Structure 1
Amino acid sequence: MLASGTSGIVLAFESFVVLHILAGSLGLVSFWIPVVSRKGSLLHRQWGRVFTWAMLVTGTAAIGISITTLIDPINTHPHLDDAEWIRGIFGWMMLGLAVLTLNLAWYGRCCLVNKSDHRLNLEWRNLSLQGLLLIASIICAGYSLRIGEPIMLGMPAIGIATVASNLAFMLKREPASIDWLKEHIKALVGAGISVYTAFFAFGAVRTIPTLALHPGLWSIPLVVGLALIIYHRLQVERQAKAAVPSPSAR
């Protein structure tokens, strides 16, 4: 009976991994098309939708991976032998990153869909994802202290900052006309950072285990992603200012 239960968990784990790889690979590729294409173009909109839904599927699969890991850490990761460490990195931290990915993808979609009625951003799924991310971040931070793995603290730091930033916009009574676009950029590029971080870090565990938790490896997607967010948000602000007629032209 126990062996049957174990094999079922491992089968579920492997199924989630396959789904995660397929959807994540689509996300890795489709991320760049909306980034480099003309904003608002058909290409940008079509591939933006592909990327968003790829991230939602990837995040959901990652939740499945993390939960099955928490249930049976050793059999789901037979190449490793420390159950507590596996639960920390592939369980709680991956769960936090999965919820972060879902949060950013859904929030970024909501910012676009609800741009003409800001109040709709307070819909229950968007709000629930803020609460779930906060809870996942706190648990990840606690487990990091428990097993003495400081790199795990990066996830809760980003998670809590994301919740604070998202709620600040969602609860704003009268956002500026371009605020939704700036938040849309922040969220979906942030989701891209998340999927590339998982690709570099968790993928390295199976190929080069000694590099898996190296801060330098984790920093590459973060630095590139932050540069993209800053660049595109500044571009949006410049275009908005250019669209406002000067006093002499009025």
Structure 2
Amino acid sequence: MHLFEALVIAHVIAGATGLIAFWVPIATRKGAKAHRKWGRIACYGFIVAGALAVAMALLSLYGPEERIPSVTDRELFDGLFGWMMLYLGLLTMGFADYGLAVVKHGRERRALRTPRYQIVMASVIVSALWCGYYGFGIGEPLMMAVAALGVVAMTLQLAFVWRKDVERTAYIGEHFRALVGMGISAYTAFMAVGLIRWVPEEVFNPVVWAGPSVIGVALIIYFTLQTNRKRAARA
């Protein structure tokens, strides 16, 4: 078995674990044992899958073999299966890492300002900017659209980390948005990379691509409104 094939199998196992476990903390009571347990499983599964995606992207860009010969446009191949896969892998890891860290350090945000976390967020921004720039160069709007997601998300995270004053429980919303973002980036990566292997004629269908973002944003809005109602009732 070649190295790339082994990475694909490991990536599928880790990613499937994360994609399945992701819905348990969404559906269960927040803060409960099942929420915490399955949330960690989802995060660690996505972190492993993201790291393997980065490795596969580098092999696609710089490996000796020509992958997916059916894609004759090699610039497009490098964009989708190289730079965008690399960026989505880093984005998924960045969301998962931040989602765990903000619960651990949300009430003492100075820990989130250390190089340990700042480098992760900076790497996502740099990879997003390059992904968007490359997509612009080859005229691929999908690459530019997913790149914008990472830049906006990391900017909002940095704003929370460096803001002088925040509400005591603000970290809860940050945690939720990060982990929903993690799910969006993981499902988008599946649409970008996995879909072309199964139904290549649908790989550029904007409806398919919009699905994870529409569901994710709807969840964020729903739980934000729910939290605001509870806060108003307590007040």
Same fold (TM over 0.5): yes
> CA offsets, 1:158-189, max 9 Å, x none?
11101211110010122112210011010001
Distance 2:19 2:201 in 1: 24
Distance 1:128 1:236 in 2: 31
Q: Which residue matches 1:14?
A: 5
Aligned in 2, Cα 1:121/1:241: closer, same or farther, shift over 3 Å?
Answer: farther
Distance 1:198 1:163 in 2: 18
Equivalent residue for 1:221, pick from 212, 219, 232: 212
Q: Please give the TM-score of this superposition, normalised by the length of structure 1.
A: 0.89
Q: Would you say 1:49 and 2:49 are equivalent positions?
A: no
Letter of the structure 1 residue corresponding to residue 27 of structure 2: V
Q: Which residue matches 1:148?
A: 139
Kept in 2: contact 1:68–1:76 (CA 8 A)? no
Kept in 2: contact 1:69–1:91 (CA 8 A)? yes
Which is greater in Rg?
1
Distance 1:37 1:239 in 2: 17
Q: Would you say 1:202 and 2:193 are equivalent positions?
A: yes
TM-superposed deviation, 1:116: 2.9
Distance 2:86 2:64 in 1: 14
Q: Please give the TM-score of this superposition, normalised by the length of structure 2.
A: 0.94
Which secondary structure state, in structure 1, belongs to the residue aligned with residue 2 of structure 2? Answer: helix
Which secondary structure state, in structure 2, belongs to the residue aligned with residue 22 of structure 1? Answer: helix
Equivalent residue for 1:157, pick from 123, 137, 148: 148
Kept in 1: contact 2:4–2:59 (CA 8 A)? yes
Q: Which residue matches 1:6?
A: none
Aligned in 2, Cα 1:87/1:112: closer, same or farther, shift over 3 Å?
Answer: same
Distance 2:195 2:47 in 1: 23
Q: Would you say 1:92 and 2:83 are equivalent positions?
A: yes
Q: Which residue matches 2:55?
A: 64
Which secondary structure state, in structure 2, belongs to the residue aligned with residue 76 of structure 1? Answer: coil
Distance 1:236 1:104 in 2: 21
Distance 2:169 2:127 in 1: 31
Kept in 1: contact 2:96–2:179 (CA 8 A)? yes
TM alignment of 1:236-247, pairs within 5 A: 236-244=227-235
Kept in 1: contact 2:107–2:171 (CA 8 A)? no
TM alignment of 1:60-139, pairs within 5 A: 60-72=51-63, 75-139=66-130
Letter of the structure 1 residue corresponding to residue 7 of structure 2: F
Equivalent residue for 2:172, pick from 181, 187, 190: 181
Distance 2:84 2:171 in 1: 29
Kept in 2: contact 1:13–1:76 (CA 8 A)? no
Q: Which residue matches 2:158?
A: 167
Structure 1: state its 5+ residue gaps: 1-9, 245-250
Aligned in 2, Cα 1:141/1:201: closer, same or farther, shift over 3 Å?
Answer: closer
Distance 1:226 1:134 in 2: 20
TM alignment of 1:15-30, pairs within 5 A: 15-30=6-21
Kept in 2: contact 1:197–1:221 (CA 8 A)? yes
Which secondary structure state, in structure 1, belongs to the residue aligned with residue 3 of structure 2? Answer: helix
Distance 1:80 1:179 in 2: 46
Distance 1:163 1:115 in 2: 16
Letter of the structure 2 residue corresponding to residue 110 of structure 1: A
Letter of the structure 1 residue corresponding to residue 187 of structure 2: Y
Q: Which residue matches 1:34?
A: 25
Kept in 2: contact 1:100–1:159 (CA 8 A)? yes
Distance 2:200 2:68 in 1: 13
